[in-house]
Structure 1
Amino acid sequence: MVSIRNSDASVEARILDAAAECILAYGVERTTMTEIARRARVSRPTIYRRWPDIRWVIAELLTVRIAGVLERVPDRGPSREAMVQRIVAVAEHLRNDDIVQSVIRNAPSLAMVYIAERLGTSQQILIDALAEAIQAGQADGSVRPGDPQQMGAMCLLITQSTIQSAQMVEKLLDADAINVELAQSLNGYLAP
């Protein structure tokens, strides 16, 4: 017997997968609840019971994708160098994520909410993970003293800017160079 909770998770996953398909097929601005419902094989009210509008669906999709990258990139240990390697790898995945980049490039009003106006769920997840890694690095002496949450927030700002602006400087910094420079920046910021 399938539990209702598992069924709900399956429906939500189908809806988010359908939203991702729509974004890739039509772009963020032309993605509709009707098309998401059609692709997910659910009714529009099924979607509206979970999210009040399309912006919330896209925000949830971004949260799932960003948190998923963090889960897929393994923790390489407590040292500053290991933490920086993980941050750079997560940033590289997000720079290459079609959905994340589509939102940044094609829905600037939506992206700006999370870039300049408010801290999103995925950003808080990243800050919490960074703070935990910073504490471990402080314990082994490879990270300077300071408030781990504040330092995690600063690492997020540094890294987030490379994700959202990499295209702008790609003639100066190719993918490998941006990884090297991001690692250098983070190591310099975190070093004791």
Structure 2
Amino acid sequence: MTSLRHTPDPGTDHGSDPRDGYLDAARDCILDLGWRRTTLTEVARRAGVSRMTIYRTWSDMQQLLGDLMTREWAGVVAATVAEEDPGATAVDRLVGDIVGTVRTLRVNELFLRIVELDPELLLPYLLARRGRSQDAILAMVEEAVRAGQAAGQVRAGTPVVIARALVLAAHGFVLSTHTMVDDRATETELDAELAGLLARALAP
């Protein structure tokens, strides 16, 4: 899963593209106000630019949110992949990347804020269609599965189907783990079960 290694993490220096500064302002707005109370006008104010500057980049908040979520989740994946052990097996690397991404997403402040105040924003990506970040993650998992198969370390099967099944399994652990945690099962134990499920699904 190397194709996002150079994707900048949220909150870091994004280089010379002014859009990143606008997305930073939008992120701050959503953290402070929530999605429903955030407007392009408020984003412009926080970014220190005119309203028309923002409107020329995004026609509405939905478009801006799509770009913000794509950047945010790509940064989460990139940070996780950067911690890979290059000496590990293909299965161990892929399992570590998926479980690490799940754990990081669950505590990501933007993700938590959306779930807390505006969970309906996530429903289209769970019930109706995939988003750009989901497609990017699927492509990376598929690539890793193909590479593992070529090395004889991942079981035979259609890489695209295997990748989609793994991502579907991960969805539940991102969104619903908290509903399964109590005095009989900890989050750490559930994550260990996810790792075991993924390893068994990939092993030759």
Does TM, scored on the shorter chain, surpass 0.5? yes
Check if 1:87 corresponds to 2:94: no
* Number of the residue aligned with 1:175: 187
Contact 2:149/2:156 (<8 A) preserved: yes
Q: Per-residue CA shift, 1:66-108, capped at 9, x if unaligned?
A: 1111211224345111210111111111111011122233222
Contact 2:178/2:187 (<8 A) preserved: no
Flag structure 2 segments of 5+ consecutive residues without an equivalent.
Answer: 1-14
Separation in structure 2 between the aligned mates of residue 44 and residue 190 of structure 1, nearest angstrom? 50
> What SS is found at the alignment partner of 1:90?
helix
Check if 1:63 corresponds to 2:42: no
Contact 2:114/2:121 (<8 A) preserved: yes
* Number of the residue aligned with 2:109: 98
TM-score by length of 1: 0.89
* Number of the residue aligned with 1:28: 35
TM-score by length of 2: 0.84
> What SS is found at the alignment partner of 1:127?
helix
Count of aligned pairs:
185
* Number of the residue aligned with 1:187: 199
1:51–1:178 Cα change, 3 Å: farther
Flag structure 1 segments of 5+ consecutive residues without an equivalent.
Answer: 1-5
Check if 1:107 corresponds to 2:118: yes
| Aligned structure 1 segments of 4 or more residues deviating by more than 4 angstroms | none
* Number of the residue aligned with 2:143: 132
* Number of the residue aligned with 1:3: none
* Number of the residue aligned with 2:11: none
**Structure 1 stretch displaced more, 105-114 or 86-95:** 105-114
Q: As a proportion of its length, which structure holds more helix?
A: 1
Question: Identity of counterpart residues, as a percentage?
Answer: 35
1:117–1:173 Cα change, 3 Å: farther
Separation in structure 2 between the aligned mates of residue 43 and residue 14 of structure 1, nearest angstrom? 13
* Number of the residue aligned with 2:46: 39
Letter in 1 for 2:98: I
* Number of the residue aligned with 2:8: none
